[in-house]
Amino acid sequence: MKSCLSPKFQVYLVEDSALIRERLLTRLAALPLVHVVGFATTVREAIEGIDGHTPDAVILDLKLTDGTGLTVLKHLKEHLPGVLVIVLTNYAVPYIQDICMKGGAAFFLDKTAELGRLLEIVQTLSTQQKTIDS
């Protein structure tokens, strides 16, 4: 998935909350081996943006203004199965987690309690990729 132009771990953010989106963009930008290649606030924007950038990972909110992140997850599983998906949601209940994990998500995190864990996961993935690319 890695672009020849960027040795950094490329992340695409799908989040409709401006407050959380800006907080995540700021914190992701502080990770030295991570590059946020874009963000979206709707299902349509997400699919178009991800297809245009082919990131290494997508951080995906489930509740979006024009639909559900499950639509994006399904698209990724069908068209870009190599893209790692980290679901970040306020709806962190077991049956939704099960749907997401069966749908292709690699991680399922509670937005209210696991933002720090999200950053740790992205940092670890970026470090692992740097080692693989070296």
* Number of residues that make up the chain: 134
Residues in CB range of 52: below 8 A, 6 or more apart = 38
pLDDT in tens, 70-109: 999 999 999 999 999 999 999 999 999 999 999 999 999 9
Average pLDDT of the chain to the nearest whole number:
93
What pLDDT is stored for residue 129 in this prediction?
Answer: 77
Evaluate the CA torsion angle 67, 43, 79, 120 in order and state its sign.
negative
What pLDDT is stored for residue 41 in this prediction?
Answer: 98
What pLDDT is stored for residue 7 in this prediction?
Answer: 81
% the chain with pLDDT above 70: 92
For the whole prediction, is pTM greater than 0.85?
yes
What pLDDT is stored for residue 103 in this prediction?
Answer: 97
In this prediction, residue 4 has a pLDDT band, given cuts at 50, 70 and 90, of very low
Q: Name all domains of the chain by residue range, CATH numbers in brackets.
A: 9-127 (3.40.50.2300)
Which pairing describes strands 57-60 and 63-64: parallel, antiparallel, or unpaired? unpaired
